[in-house]
Structure 1
Amino acid sequence: MTVSPLVWILTLAGILALLAFDYFFHVRSVHVPTLREAAIWSAAYVGIALLFGLGTFVLGGTAMGSEYFAGYITEKALSVDNLFVFLVIVTSFRVPRENQQKVLLIGIVFALITRTGFIFLGSALVNMFSWVFYLFGLVLLLTAGHMLRPESEESHSPDNLMILISRRLFHTADHFDGDRLVTVEGGRRVLTPMVLVIAAIGGTDLLFAIDSIPAIFGLTQNVYVVFTATAFSLLGLRQLYFLLDGLLDRLIYLSFGLAAILAFIGVKLILHALHENNLPFINNGKHLDVAEIGTGLSLTVIVAILVATIVASLLSVRGRTQNAISRIRRDARRYLDSEYTADPSERERIYLRLVDARDYLTALGPKAKQQVENEPELLELCRQVTESHERSRERGATTWTADPAEL
């Protein structure tokens, strides 16, 4: 289906309006989003994306609608995996909780701009050289293999190329100044660490595009569908971050599911490349009569893999234990970090969530308790949180104190 310039203009205007709304009504007013706020707006953005998909079914036909939903679901799943890296970056730079919204929104805008450039570049290459499908397929297969390697928070270092360049070119302050990008230090204007955080997220966005764009081109070559599916998967990512914070570690099999999806799309691309082959060293430059995977089957496989991955992660005792331990460690560090947030209610929320995780871990039984006993750093963090909370109670605070011995 050929999309008219008017439809393109209206679509771009709608996306820019959503970004502007997000900034002026949420991000501009510095605050820590509540779980309810994050859930409502995450659902709202998903609802908008689904309504747009229904519109493509009605106006563009079944094929276009199926391609949109296959692309949207794939890109959304990849974006959830990317949220873990965002979490590591903001934690590593100790970004105050109140200012994380602005960092994420700027990162989303940067991702949208860069991926739009990649989309049009990819479209031009696909139209000019059919062998590009071989390259895209190989990239996805290599990415799938990379995802199967065990990773930790340390493997997602924020010191990427963008950060190294920024640190060399600009002098930055040691501390944040609210959500400002520039502050005054020693009588002169300097950049705040917020610039480095944005540079780190921008650098990772470029890396994410390497697997994201080939993946969606493996499902559709309709540039309009590729762009809208990518854009709507990014919109609402900020709200999803605050909604899933603390739950990301629970999805221990997500990387395996995404690896399977990328490998599946990679095979689909290579089959398509063989069907359109014109490389002289493959079958003498003639097309090969190979079976191709349709959009309907692709959508079914992608949804099935994601459902199986999520269910397996949620039912896994090991996954629940890992999630609880990671959440306790992360929330303990946040609670002890005086610069993490200036909002007393947010610090209280962190503490109560730590207590809930502790109780949940205790309820999992002896195996979980044994795993905690093998984590001396975790016990030491809990001891420090207990002492800090006891001092708060002595100053008149009314909060429950956790006992690390009960872990």
Structure 2
Amino acid sequence: MSSMTIGEPWMWASFIAFIVCMLALDLFVFGGRKTHRVSVREALSWVIAWSGLALVFAALLWWYLNDTFGAQLAQRKTLEFLTGYLIEQSLSIDNMFVFVMIFGYFAVPPELQRRVLLYGVLGAIVMRTLMIFAGVWLVSQFAWLLYVFGAFLMITGIKMLIFADQQPDLARNPLLGWLRRHLRVTDGFHGERFFVVLDGVRWATPMFLVMVLIEASDLIFAVDSIPAILAVTTDPFIVFTSNIFAIMGLRALYFLLADMAERFHLLKYGLATVLVFIGGKMLLMPWFHLPIQWSLALVAGIILASVLLSLFLNREKRQALSKHDERDPGMAKMMRQRQETNKTRGRLSGQTEFQTDGHTPVKRRKHWR
């Protein structure tokens, strides 16, 4: 074991081989290449599988380190992995909300979303790997960068707390605008294809725009998540494995929670609080050391509290609406119709309606008076 990492060459090779095998199983055995709508049952099975595999990995890591280097190092590194995994998994939920917005804006059919997210996972693995090794190397060369990362995370968390209710406007997204100015883009989907040739001219499809935005969003969120886990450990093996496990489970988590995103409206505040906590922990390192088990407990407690409070407030709201319905059924019906109309306008106003059939789809825009 080197002084910087517990990762021996055989450990790196074994883990990478494991990830490659799992991706191959997903692609060629479990239907990853087939166009189909992912059911809640299938998504739940994959979430349980990846969470279980992460726990099995933690157990194997503890067993190996305890047998080779002793209980103290085994406990510390295992807790570092679990804390890093929890942080990455929690922050990836915020990324999931962005996926929901992107798919909704482009009206991507559910059966096409799986393929886009598969490529998103592959791209995220490459980008995260490069950023992890760059971040670990920079911190090893310039230790003061940890304080820069800490300040950055605190500022990011505070901004999230202030602007948590504001939704980004994809119609004004500079990357999307640049792509539309420089690419010929069809107005309809052509199955899972990113490019098509029409009348001898190559066109990009909306699927390509969606994939680029998915990759860009993961890159942006990685700027937060990588410094966050560096507050827990600078061991590249721990950072890498915890990140990869979180990324591999993100796609299944999206299909499980996408339809329930509105129920967890306070989760963004919880994630922002986690960033502020981690940033403060990094800034206070010279004067105050918080044991890793306390960091794990606090992060888990903040996320759990935000989820439970969201569910509780939603239940209170439903009960209040139910009582109002009993007092004034006519007004309640009118209010529900108005809410559905506003929701529909929010989805379609200024948004291109993409068709999924035909070779030269026609662009139609919805205008509301």
TM-score under structure 2 normalisation? 0.82
Match of 1:116, SS state, is helix
Instruction: Check if 1:378 corresponds to 2:310.
Output: no
Correspondence for 2:46 among 18, 41, 48: 41
Correspondence for 1:172 among 170, 185, 196: 185
Q: CA deviation at 1:26?
A: 2.5
Q: CA deviation at 1:363?
A: 4.1
Match of 1:173, SS state, is coil
- The 5 Å alignment of 1:221-232 reads 221-232=234-245
Separation in structure 1 between the aligned mates of residue 344 and residue 105 of structure 2, nearest angstrom: 22
Q: Cα 1:374–1:120, aligned 2, differ >3 Å: closer, same or farther?
A: same
> Equivalent residue for 1:20?
24
Query: In the alignment, residue 298 of structure 1 is paired with which amino acid?
Result: S
Correspondence for 1:118 among 125, 131, 156: 131
> Equivalent residue for 1:88?
101
Q: Cα 1:83–1:361, aligned 2, differ >3 Å: closer, same or farther?
A: farther
Separation in structure 1 between the aligned mates of residue 23 and residue 53 of structure 2, nearest angstrom: 13
Query: In the alignment, residue 186 of structure 2 is paired with which amino acid?
Result: A
Q: CA deviation at 1:168?
A: 3.3
Residues 112 and 191 of structure 2 are in contact (CA less than 8 Å); yes or no, is this contact kept in structure 1? yes
Q: Cα 1:371–1:144, aligned 2, differ >3 Å: closer, same or farther?
A: farther
> Equivalent residue for 2:112?
99
Q: Cα 1:209–1:383, aligned 2, differ >3 Å: closer, same or farther?
A: closer
Residues 280-306 of structure 1: per-residue CA shift (max 9 Å, x gap):
xxxxxxxxxx12112111011111111
Q: CA deviation at 1:378?
A: 2.9
Q: Which runs of 5+ in 2 are unaligned?
A: 66-73, 346-369
Instruction: Say how many residue pairs are matched.
Output: 330
Residues 71 and 216 of structure 1 are in contact (CA less than 8 Å); yes or no, is this contact kept in structure 2? yes
Q: CA deviation at 1:379?
A: 4.1
Q: Cα 1:90–1:379, aligned 2, differ >3 Å: closer, same or farther?
A: closer
Separation in structure 1 between the aligned mates of residue 333 and residue 80 of structure 2, nearest angstrom: 46
> Equivalent residue for 1:298?
295
Instruction: Check if 1:309 corresponds to 2:314.
Output: no
Query: In the alignment, residue 184 of structure 1 is paired with which amino acid?
Result: V
Residues 181 and 195 of structure 1 are in contact (CA less than 8 Å); yes or no, is this contact kept in structure 2? yes
Correspondence for 1:75 among 88, 93, 97: 88
Separation in structure 2 between the aligned mates of residue 62 and residue 201 of structure 1, nearest angstrom: 36
Instruction: Check if 1:64 corresponds to 2:77.
Output: yes
Q: CA deviation at 1:164?
A: 3.3
Q: Cα 1:129–1:250, aligned 2, differ >3 Å: closer, same or farther?
A: same
Residues 324-364 of structure 1: per-residue CA shift (max 9 Å, x gap):
xxxxxxxxxxxxxxxxxxxxxxxxxxxxxxxxxxxx99647
Correspondence for 1:202 among 215, 240, 250: 215
> Equivalent residue for 1:4?
8
Separation in structure 2 between the aligned mates of residue 128 and residue 156 of structure 1, nearest angstrom: 39
Query: In the alignment, residue 33 of structure 2 is paired with which amino acid?
Result: R
Q: CA deviation at 1:157?
A: 2.1
Match of 2:259, SS state, is coil
TM-score under structure 1 normalisation? 0.75
Residues 301-321 of structure 1: per-residue CA shift (max 9 Å, x gap):
111111211111111137865
Query: In the alignment, residue 38 of structure 1 is paired with which amino acid?
Result: A
> Equivalent residue for 2:359?
none
Q: CA deviation at 1:258?
A: 1.0
Instruction: Check if 1:140 corresponds to 2:153.
Output: yes
Residues 89 and 158 of structure 1 are in contact (CA less than 8 Å); yes or no, is this contact kept in structure 2? no
Query: In the alignment, residue 203 of structure 1 is paired with which amino acid?
Result: A
Separation in structure 2 between the aligned mates of residue 182 and residue 319 of structure 1, nearest angstrom: 48
Query: In the alignment, residue 238 of structure 1 is paired with which amino acid?
Result: R
Separation in structure 1 between the aligned mates of residue 17 and residue 328 of structure 2, nearest angstrom: 51
Residues 164 and 269 of structure 2 are in contact (CA less than 8 Å); yes or no, is this contact kept in structure 1? no
Separation in structure 1 between the aligned mates of residue 301 and residue 224 of structure 2, nearest angstrom: 20
Match of 2:162, SS state, is coil
Q: Cα 1:368–1:226, aligned 2, differ >3 Å: closer, same or farther?
A: farther
Higher relative contact order (CA 8 A, sep 6+): 2
Query: In the alignment, residue 142 of structure 1 is paired with which amino acid?
Result: I
Separation in structure 2 between the aligned mates of residue 292 and residue 15 of structure 1, nearest angstrom: 34
Q: Cα 1:220–1:371, aligned 2, differ >3 Å: closer, same or farther?
A: farther
Separation in structure 1 between the aligned mates of residue 264 and residue 200 of structure 2, nearest angstrom: 48
Residues 164 and 268 of structure 2 are in contact (CA less than 8 Å); yes or no, is this contact kept in structure 1? no
Residues 263 and 314 of structure 2 are in contact (CA less than 8 Å); yes or no, is this contact kept in structure 1? no
Residues 136 and 266 of structure 1 are in contact (CA less than 8 Å); yes or no, is this contact kept in structure 2? yes
Q: Cα 1:87–1:292, aligned 2, differ >3 Å: closer, same or farther?
A: same
Q: CA deviation at 1:172?
A: 1.6
Residues 314 and 320 of structure 1 are in contact (CA less than 8 Å); yes or no, is this contact kept in structure 2? no
Query: In the alignment, residue 230 of structure 2 is paired with which amino acid?
Result: F
Query: In the alignment, residue 59 of structure 2 is paired with which amino acid?
Result: L
Q: CA deviation at 1:187?
A: 4.0
Q: CA deviation at 1:189?
A: 2.8
Q: CA deviation at 1:127?
A: 0.4
Match of 1:184, SS state, is strand
Separation in structure 2 between the aligned mates of residue 59 and residue 181 of structure 1, nearest angstrom: 45
Correspondence for 2:253 among 240, 264, 280: 240
Q: CA deviation at 1:156?
A: 5.1
Query: In the alignment, residue 299 of structure 2 is paired with which amino acid?
Result: I
Instruction: Check if 1:219 corresponds to 2:235.
Output: no
Separation in structure 1 between the aligned mates of residue 149 and residue 328 of structure 2, nearest angstrom: 42
> Equivalent residue for 1:185?
198
> Equivalent residue for 1:53?
58
Q: Which runs of 5+ in 1 are unaligned?
A: 276-289, 322-359, 385-407
Instruction: State, as a whole percentage, how many aligned pairs show the same letter.
Output: 35
Match of 2:107, SS state, is coil
Separation in structure 2 between the aligned mates of residue 319 and residue 259 of structure 1, nearest angstrom: 24
